[in-house]
A and B are shown apart, each in its own frame.
Chain A
Amino acid sequence: MQTQEQVVPIRTPESSFDDEVVTVIAKDGSTGPADPKLPVEQVVDFYEAMVRTRTIDVQLERLQRQGRIGFHIGSLGEEACILGSAAAMRPQDWIFPCYREFGALLYRGMPLQTYVDNMYGNADDPVKGRQMPDHYTGRAFRFGSVSSPIGTQMTQAVGFAWAAQKKGTDEVTSVYFGEGATSSAEFHTGMNFAGVMKAPVVFLCRNNRWAISVPSEKQTASKTFADKGVAYGVPAVRVDGNDVLATYKVVRECVERAARGEGPALVEMLTYRVGGHSTSDDPRAYRVQDEVEQWRRTDPVVRLRRHLETLGAWDDAREEELTKGTEAELKACIAAAEAKPKPALGTIFDGVFAERPWHLEEQAAELLNGPRAKDHH
């Protein structure tokens, strides 16, 4: 045994990340050495975005249960990692979303009405009801386009980042995905290409512990997801994803490195999917409530609020005003969205190509002269 070990040095890979998780906000609301020391208004801005995101989440879930929208996929419990990372992207940077990042899209400036129209797939939906709810697109906000197939956005983000670099811009691209998606071929190919090309891309892995019913330990035999950076020569870091300041700090550094030409980075953001996978899922079928309760105790919103209270920058009155205000704004958007018609029948045939070829003209004519045309304005 001894000699064999010397001749063939097979090593079990040791995790270099095991106990290393960047954290800023302590339990009592004080901050540690990695504090980005942002102006207090900016921290308040983060908090407001997180609460707003959560408030919208809760309402949309309710709306789905009432049968008024078809689907919602939310970010309950993941607000800090989504908003902290989105806020760390500079205005010129780009975001390639997974499907849980509507909070980031709103933070980037998409009007709430537009998002709600998209949830309803009505005539004012920018994509004319072609996609499911929460499959938004926002180029004007330097935000990509959601598709359901897991993983596809990762290689695309690498190519996008690479193109921006070739054009000589100072633009970094970030890409979101769940830890489940690290099992997809696109993750490995994307990391490999990014490493080889030194593309200015930041991989944002939301490790929320669950891929629908599959726990994270069934996705990988690696000790951490950050470990995966090693194989591709991509620098990696683990951060407490329920700590918005830590997430901001870490992602910001990755963005700045990438902007300096130092290449890609992988950020593993440790968080927890407090809700079901989506409104189609009932997590009670596969996980114990205890676990959820345990994570609720690390709630990112509560945590940031404690910090703001230590700064004297937040109180119940402001909280109430924010929640009530968001609810009222959302309610108005919903009422408006519900009053809008469906997209016109012919829109089915738009956007397949830049121009409609003859066969789509023919099919459009068939539909528009068909028995249902009169039911549609």
Chain B
Amino acid sequence: MPEMNLVQAVNDALRIAMREDDDVVVLGEDVGKVGGVFRVTQGLFDEFGEDRVIDTPLSEGGIIGTAIGMALYGMKPVPEIQFADFIFPAFDQIVSEAAKYRYRSGGEYTCPMVIRTPVGGGIRGGHYHSQSPESLFIHTAGLKVVCPSNPYDAKGLLTAAIKDPDPVLFFEPKRVYRAVKMDVPEGDLELPLGKAKVVREGEDVTVIAWGAMLFEALASAEEVEADGLSCEVLDLRTLWPVDIDTIASSVKKTGRVVIVHEAPKACGFGAELLSMVTEKCFVHLEAPPVRVTGFDTPFPYTLEMEYLPLQHRITPALRETVAYEP
């Protein structure tokens, strides 16, 4: 099995999908000849040509609007937004159009497309190259939202997302892009959307994370293991529709939950997860659920490692949650 990083795994999934289905096209800024600013689409231009790997003018509204049009006609566009921070010029097209086409047209028109975009901080990107806007899209009915944490999942989930009949936002944790390498099978690999993964089993507390923060959660779980705390760590993988069964059964077992995400706290996805946990597991809870998140400020540059919910903030949260006495 070849070793791949997340960039290579996404590239591999795209290449296989494009070989299998002529309707799959890639479009975006700099995705063609140069293969994207993160080189995720590298080599696709040479293999599939400029008809299927399209360098567009600089307009996200244009990229997503035309991708929607292609999808309506019956193609399978996989547009790239260069950074999730630059998705907002396309927000109207995604929220008002892609998310609602199936519903508003009684299924006559649908938008099967995958919007790929790098997310997250820790790469010295400041306000506009670091954000994690997932909750804005989860909040919008009609969109699926995926965020893999590793190359294997990235390949399998992207393959599934491209085959999915509805619009999917595929958030790629850019801090992980080249930081993690692992064995990824050659050829077809498809992992179902909507399934979380128990990455580490434990008894005392459940930690819910995704993307780059999964590794911080795992590091904290290991750190507190020395004190005899046993953490169960869930990687959500698909954020929406979320795998409530896996979450609920874990929290019912441990009675405690810590939710970790980079996005700000207020109305972050953690707020929804916390509500769901409270609704589904209320009588099982032994401590108030806790969120460890980015602060409710714009994403800072110099102090980004203080802003992010890294190991140094997760570990005390785990200890306090387990030590909680009513």
Interface positions of A (Cβ within 8 A of B): 70-71, 121-122, 125, 128-132, 135, 147-151, 180-181, 183-185, 211-214, 218-220, 280-281, 285-286, 342-343, 345, 347-349, 352, 359-360, 363, 367, 370-372, 376
Contact = CB atoms under 8 A, between A and B. Distances in A.
Nearest to A359: B296
Contacts of B300: 129-130, 348
Interface in B46-64: 55, 57-59, 61-62
29 contacts: A70-B124, A71-B124, A130-B126, A130-B127, A130-B300, A130-B301, A131-B301, A132-B126, A132-B301, A148-B86, A148-B129, A149-B89, A183-B57, A183-B58, A183-B59, A184-B58, A184-B89, A213-B30, A214-B55, A214-B58, A218-B55, A343-B302, A345-B303, A347-B303, A348-B303, A359-B266, A363-B265, A370-B316, A372-B306
B297 A348 contact: yes
B62 A360 contact: no
A218 B57 contact: yes
- Main DSSP-derived SS at the B contact region: loop
B280 interface: no
A149 B295 contact: no
Task: Please provide the 3 A-B residue pairs with the shortest distance between their CB atoms, ordered closest to farther.
Answer: A129-B302, A132-B126, A148-B128
Interface size class of B (residues with CB under 8 A): 35 or more
B195 interface: no
B37 interface: yes
A286 B127 contact: no
A367 B48 CA distance: 50
B301 A180 contact: no
A149 to B, nearest CB: 6
Nearest to A152: B89
B253 interface: no
A183 B316 CA distance: 48
Interface string B306-326: 110000110010000000000
B73 interface: no
B306 A185 contact: no
Contacts of A347: 303
A151 B29 CA distance: 15
B127 A212 contact: no
B267 to A, nearest CB: 12
